[in-house]
Structure formats: structure tokens, C-alpha cells
Amino acid sequence: MDIRNAQKFTEMIFKNIRDGIVILDRDYRILDANESIEKWAKRPVADIINSDCRDVFHGEGQICPHCAAQQAFETGQISTVTQKNNKQDTAVYAELSAYPIKSESGEIRECVVFIQDITDRMLCHDEVLRLYDEVIQTKEYLESIIEHSADAIVTSDLNGIITSWNNGAERIYHFTKEDALGNFLPFVPEFLVDSERDNNRKIRDGEVLKRVETFRKKKDGAIISVSLTLSPIKNAGGEIIGISEISRDISEKKNVEKELVRRNQELSRLFFISSAMRGTLDLDRLLRMVLTAVTMGDGLGFNRAILFLVDDEKHSLRGAMGVGPASYEEAFHVWERLSNEKKTLPDIMEEIDVGLLRKDSFFDKLSQSIEIPLSTETSLAKAVNEQKRFNIDDVGKEPLSDAVLIQQLGTRAFAAVPLISRNRVIGVLWVDNYFNNRAITEEDMHFLTAFSNHVASAIENARLFERVKLAEQELENIFESISDMVYFVTEDYVIKNINQAVSKRLKKSPNEIIGKKCHEIFHGIHEPWAACPHRKSVEMREAFVQEVEDPFLGGTFIMSCSPIIDISGRFMGTVNILSDITELKNLRERVIKTDRMAALGEVAARVAHEIRNPLVSLGGFARRLEKRLNGGLKEYADIIGKEVERLETILNEILSFVKETRVRKENVSAQKLMEEVVSLSRSEIDDREIALIEDFGEPVELYVDPNRVKDALLNVVRNAIQAVEHAGTISLKIYRKNKTCVIEIGDSGPGITEEDLPFIFDPFYTTKKQGTGLGLTITHRIIEEHDGRIEVESRGGKGSVFRLVIPIKEA
Amino acid sequence: MKILVVDDDLHIQRLYKEEFEDEGYEVVVASNGQEAIEMFEKEAPDIVTLDILLPDIDGIRILRQMKEKNPKIPIIMSTAYDYRDDFAVWASEAYIVKSSDLDELKAMIKNLLSK
């Protein structure tokens, strides 16, 4: 490009460039300026040429080209300044660049100043700055909000590790920032950790959980109700990198709500509870109702409750029933389910037997193991003894705290109110808030007291009813197990109820007896029996006791009839007791007989002495005479001897019958006894030419009084000999049968007639010309003494068989 | 062989004495307890028949005294009433209820003396 063209080009730029250009000399005189300078100078270019720049651009708010030039002149370098022109309505920014122009000699005589409008640029920059400031401010504001929020605002990473923790969180949960940061959600109760992880998963999927009501744990372990909002935190890329959790302590709100519910429903609830309770007399069910009402959120809302009842016998308080969760986890589940199912107290009462707070829970069993002696100086004992109520907010500070409750239940604070029915303390209702640590308020106490007054009488009633039921059961048992016949009969002799003894004795089922007329059942007659004390009792309305011999029932009875009169004085019928005294009567008769015998025995000993001695001399000398005499006189002497012998036999038999004898048992074989009996009878058997058939078999060992049994056998054998009289047979057989020894004595005599058979063992009964009639009686008695029995088989003309059956002593 | 017969019934005393003498025994008698003890010492019998019911001392006591003096002499209790159940009589060698038939008593004496 040649110079001319270059100059033209420069001029063109100079004229058309949007930047203003001024050329100044060292005196700041304007040597030249382009048109664009007018925007800055606010004057035509021609006016400012040769003017002093300091005059053209002066005053506040004006740009200052000379200022830029001055620097360039002084430094010889390009200088750039940014200036703001405030004079116009809107601020204008200019960037001034001064280029020093050197002469050929190297002096700087002139300077070109370019003035560029950078307002737009500057405005943009300002805006950014302003925005930046604003952001800073907002951030501070937000941070301040976060910091000072009453809500706990907490952020965590996706794993639940705390990344921020505000003052609110510190205030609500008592964990400091230091405690919380870098740790896993410290305020989540253990029992909620799993469900919290579920929540985290939902947030990670982009969900926002708003106003969830749940529980949080304070640093001291106390559980509080909170309302929770969980939202994801996203980075610039929209990726979820954390979770924010805003929680608000709503315990207070809940409490207020509860209070409201309480106040509003107090009346209706009390009415409901008491009417529900009046509806049941089952003590167990009632106690469960009471405790459920005490522990349900919808009821009194305590965490745990125990009913203690006074044991008058042991003078102690005894845990009758307890309701409450065994652990935090169980507590949470129960509460959660109840709140989910939205069950009201009436619903729960309805399902009391199948409900959540079932019987025999761990806590129930624990409660029942607690016993507090009333002699102790403890709150529960005092609640009973002094009818006082207790609200102990710190067991550690209260000397009356029951140690057993602290040890067994771990309670830290509790309340106890006496259950008073008819001015008597029947028990104590104990409650605590073990799981949520809610303080027990005066309001609670008020309601608890009102409640306990209501339930006390219901419990007392149920307890009385239970006692009555128990007594009834006992009576029923006694009634059934009594061995006497007991039965109730109405006024018109209809049997209303009987015990087992009646149906056993009558060998009829209760159905066949109850509802029938008593005289038909007991006496087999169609009209009341005239001699019956029962009839007298019905007619006279008085109790009668009488001994009755009833041929229909077959026995002797003591019959006691007592009228049943109800409270209103109405005659309901009679209760009759029939005691079978047949055995007793027999025994009594036997005792009388024995007494008589013993007395007789005394006399007998005397008589024996007085009679036997003369008989012995008489008989003895008659024998001596007989030996020395001959012919007729010899015969007389013989007759005297024989008659004396007969008298002696009678005497012996009578004496042995009346005499009280002691049994002296020893081991002896039945065969040996029989052999001795045979040898004693041998001469007579031979004399009468009787054939004796012995079949003794294996020796059978007996444990008996040998003399007595020998006597018994001898009597039977003698009878057999006398029955056979002459030339018949007697068979003797001994054998073992089951656990007895049978000694059989058979004869070929005339036998015993059917009429005689029932009487053969009766004393003084005899068919023989000679004899006392005591032989078989004695035999019978001896065998009875040995717990044996005698069987007789006999038919007229066919002989007799006597079987003496004696039990064998067990080895 | 010498038999001491103790019995307050004089007829029985005589009956026993004659019967036993017929059998070849020497017989001494006593009518009461006192006499019985004296005779037992003085006569040194080989065997004694002793009644229980005596006018002065009862037979059981006499039995005990005789046994204390000489336990080797056999004693037969011979009574009108059956005292067999009384423990006291067990100390005697034998027991018999008096009977006009003396065969059993004689057999008993013979048996005891032969031992």
C-alpha cells in the first residue's frame, strides 16, 4: 500500500470508527478529533479543535481523555483507563487508551486517545456482580434461616452419613454438630433404622416424602414424635447426591391434640369403659379391658400398666396382670399397627381376647411375678395403706420408690393410684411411660384417678363373682365327690339334682333320675312315703334327721332333710342326704355282741373252773371204777364216764365260743394240719368203718394260727363222721386255687336239706341228737378271722362238701 | 421219777396221784402256791403239773418262781379254763385243759420225762 492510500485508509478509519479519537499535544490542546468524539464531548468537532482538552472534558461525571494522556506522556507507554460518565441519565462507561506518539527525535509530543464505549460490557459486568452479591446475600439469608430454623434441617449423603446439621437439629435432638457430622443418622431410633433405609431408597428414586409422622430419638434416648419432610439434593447435573431432612418436633402438638381428644372424649370414654366393664364379670377379661384402656393411645395412652391386687391372706400386693410392650421394637410395632388400623377403644375392647395386647405376653408374666409386701415403706404399699396416689418423676430421687419395680421393670418414672371400692383399697393401678419418656402430668393423674375410681368397683364385683364361681365350683366338686347320696327335691317331690353317689347306688344315669318323683326313684311307690323324713320336712318346713330302713334300696340309712328357703323366704324344696349306715349298723351290732361275749367270757372262766373240776373228778373216778368193776356195775361206771365226757365237750365248745381269743399265726402247711386232725379222729373213723380218701397234693404253706385252724377243721371232720355214721366215705382234698388254699371235706352222709342250709353257721343250730350247735359257728368264725370263707355244697341224700378257702400269705 | 401235783381241788389231787402211781411214778402233792414252792425245793420233783387258779398265789407266778429256781424241770400247766392265749403260759413246757380222760396228760408226762 502506498503512502497516499495508507493516509486515505487512515482517514477513513479515523472518520468512521465508532470509538472517539482525540489527539492531544503535551499542553493537552486538542490537535484533532473524529466525529465520534461528539458523543463524549457533547459539542461539534470543529468547536473543540485547538481547545484545551481539560476545558472540553471537565467537571464531575465527565470522561477524562487528558488523564489517560497524562499517563502516557509520563510513562511513554500505552495507558488504558476505564472511566464512568455519570452525567447522563444512565451511566456510561468508557475505556480510554492513550497511545504516545514519538517524533523522529524520539520526543513524545502528541498522544492519541481512543475512547471506546464499554457501557454495555460494563453494565453486563455490573449485573453479574450485583447478581453475585444477591446470591451471596440469599445464601447467607438461607443459611441464617437454616441455622435459626426451629425445625431440624439436616442433610446427609445417600448412605445416611450426616453432612450438615443445623442449630434446630441441635436444639431438638441435643446432638451437637460435632456429634452428628460424619455419622449415620444419629437421631433415628434403632427400631426405625430399617424403615429409614427404605425411606432413603425412595428419595434416591427421586421421591419426596412430605410430612411423615414418625419417631426420632434424642441424645438421651428419649423418643419424640416428629413430622418429617425428606427430599433429594441434586447437583448441577441433576444427579441425586444427598438427602435433606426437615423434621419438626410435634410431641407438643401431639400432646395438645391428645389433650384435646382427652378432654373431648373423657366423658364418653368413661361412660364407654364403665359400661363395657359392667358388662363383664370375668375378672381376667375385665382386668385386660382396664389395662387396655390405660395403655391405648385412644385411652389414657400410657406405655405400660400393671394392675396389682391386694392379697389379704399374704398381706401383700400381687401383680394380677400387666399390659405393655416388652421392647422398643414391640412398642413401635404395636403403635404403628394401631395407628395404621385406626382402631378406636371400642374396637379394641371388642377384640380384647384376640387383640394385640394379648394375654401371657412377656410383660404380663413379668408383672405377675411381682409381689410387694404391704409392710414395706414403699409407694405402692403406701398407696394401699394410706390410700395415696403417687407420681414419681425420678425413681432415683424418691426414697419411696419400689426397688422391685426398678429392678424388674427398669422403670425410671411412674405413677400409682389406689383402686378403692367401698372405702377399701383392693389394689393399685401402676403406669409408666418407659418407651417414650413422656412425663406424667397432673392432668394424667387426674384422669387416672377418675378412671381408677370407676374401675375399682367393677374389679371388686368381678373378684367377688370369681370367688363365688370358685366356691360354686368347690361346692360342685364336694357335691359330686361326697360318698353319701345327696339330692335336691322340689316341693312337689321332683328330683332337681343329684350327685354321683345317687346314680351309682341306683345304677341309673342322672337323666333317668332327674325330673322324676323322688318316692318313685327311692322307694318304688307312687305316693310320698309316710315314714319318710323328707315328707315331714316338706310339710313342716323344718330339718329332720332320722334313721330309715329302706327295703327298696336295701339297707339302713341316716336321712337328713333340710328345707331350702331363698332370700325372700320362699320354700324351694329340700336338700336330702342319705348316708348308708347298713355296714355301720352291722358293725355296731357286732360290737354289742362282742361286748356281750367278753362279759360272758369273764363269767365263763369262773363257771368253767367251778364245773370242770368236779366233772374231771367225776369222770376220772368213774373210769377208775370201771376198770375195777365187772358186769352191770362196770357198765354204769362206763355210762357215767361217757356222759361226763359229753358234758366236757359241751363245756369246751361253749367256752371257746364265748372266749376272746388272740390269733397266733405261724407258717404251717395245710397238709400237716389236716394230718393232725385225721390222727385225732382216726380211732373214731376206724371204729365206724369209714373209708377215708385223702388227696393232699403238693404241700400248701399257710400263715395261720395252727391250733385255731385245727379246731375249725376238726369241727367239720367230726360233723362229717357223724353225718356218715357208719360205713360210708369221707374224702379230704387240699389244693391251691389262685391265691388261696382250698381244703375240701366231703362226706357220703344224708346231706343238708335246703331249709337247713341257710342256718348251718348260726349258733346253737343243730340237727344232731348230740351237740351244742356251736361247731360250725366256731369254724366259720375261725376261717373269717383268717380272711377266708366257707363254701358248702349239699343236697339232701347226696352228701355234703365243705370247702374252707384260706388266702395264702404272699411271699 | 417224781411228779409234783399242784391243785387246790382235793379230788383232782387224789385222782392224779392214784392214776400216776398206777403208772409207776412217785407222786407228791401241794394244795396252794406256798406249799407248791416249798415242795418244789424240798422234794426236787422231775416234773410238775400246775393248776393256774390257786387260792393264794396264781399259777403263773408259781411257774415263774419254779423256773427261776430250776429251769430244767418241765412244768405242765393243767387248768380248767383255756388260758392258751396268755403269753405267760408260754414259759411252761406244755399246756393242757383238764379232762376226765387222763390219757393225753399221761402221754405228755411220759414224753417230757423221756427227753
Residue A770 falls in which region: left (phi positive, over 0), alpha (psi -120 to 50) or beta: beta
Residue owning grid cell 431440624:
A152
Chain A CB within 8 Å of residue B103 CB:
no
- Over its C-alpha atoms, chain B yields an Rg (Å, rounded) of 13
Chain B CB within 8 Å of residue A637 CB:
no
> What is the dihedral angle through the alpha carbons of A734, A736, A740, A742, rounded to the nearest 10 degrees?
-20
Dihedral (CA of B37, B40, B43, B47) sign: positive
Residues of chain B in contact with residue A614, where contact means CB-CB under 8 angstroms, are 11
How far off is chain B from A497, nearest CA to CA, in Å?
55
Please say whether the beta carbons of A731 and A746 come within 8 A: yes
Burial of B32 (0-12, 13-18, 19+ CB in 10 A): middle
Residues of chain B in contact with residue A612, where contact means CB-CB under 8 angstroms, are 80-81, 97-98
CA nearest to A425, candidates A335, A316, A341: A316
Q: Summarize pLDDT for A95-131 with one digit per residue, the tens.
A: 888 888 888 887 888 888 888 888 887 777 777 888 8
pLDDT score of A345: 60
Using DSSP's 3-state secondary structure scheme, residue A270 falls into: helix
How far off is chain A from B83, nearest CA to CA, in Å?
9
CA nearest to A353, candidates A289, A295, A307, A275: A289
pLDDT score of A234: 83
pLDDT score of B87: 47
> Structural domains in chain B?
2-102 (3.40.50.2300)
Residues of chain B below pLDDT 50: 87
Indicate which of A606, A613, A676, A782 best probes the interface with B, i.e. most B CBs within 10 Å of its own CB. A613
Q: Do A609 and B85 touch (CB under 8 A)?
A: no
pLDDT score of B23: 92
Chain B CB within 8 Å of residue A659 CB:
yes
Chain A CB within 8 Å of residue B99 CB:
yes
How far off is chain A from B79, nearest CA to CA, in Å?
8
Q: Summarize pLDDT for A647-694 with one digit per residue, the tens.
A: 888 888 777 766 656 667 888 899 999 998 998 888 888 888 999 999
Using DSSP's 3-state secondary structure scheme, residue A584 falls into: helix
pLDDT score of A418: 92
β-strand pairing of A555-565 with A571-580:
antiparallel
**At A752, phi and psi to the nearest 5?**
-110, 135
Write the residue in B9, B85, B102 that is nearest to A613 by C-beta: B9
Q: Summarize pLDDT for B83-103 with one digit per residue, the tens.
A: 655 545 556 777 788 888 898
pLDDT score of A735: 92
Please say whether the beta carbons of A501 and A486 come within 8 A: yes
Residues of chain A below pLDDT 70: 1, 59-61, 86-89, 256-281, 297-300, 335-360, 590-602, 605, 657-663, 763-773, 810-811
Using DSSP's 3-state secondary structure scheme, residue A139 falls into: helix
Strands (E), A272-374: 304-311, 316-323, 371-373
pLDDT score of A271: 58
The single-letter DSSP state of residue A439 is P
Q: Which three cell numbers stand for residue A694?
A: 385223702
User: What's the rounded Cα separation, in Å, for the pair A317 and A330?
Assistant: 28
CA-to-CA separations, A305 to A8, A404, A415, A438, B1, in angstroms, rounded? 108, 15, 10, 14, 106
Q: Name the strands in the sheet holding A555-565, side by side, starting at the edge strand that comes first in the sequence.
A: A495-498, A485-489, A571-580, A555-565, A544-550
pLDDT score of A463: 77
Please say whether the beta carbons of A292 and A357 come within 8 A: yes
pTM of the predicted protein model? 0.35
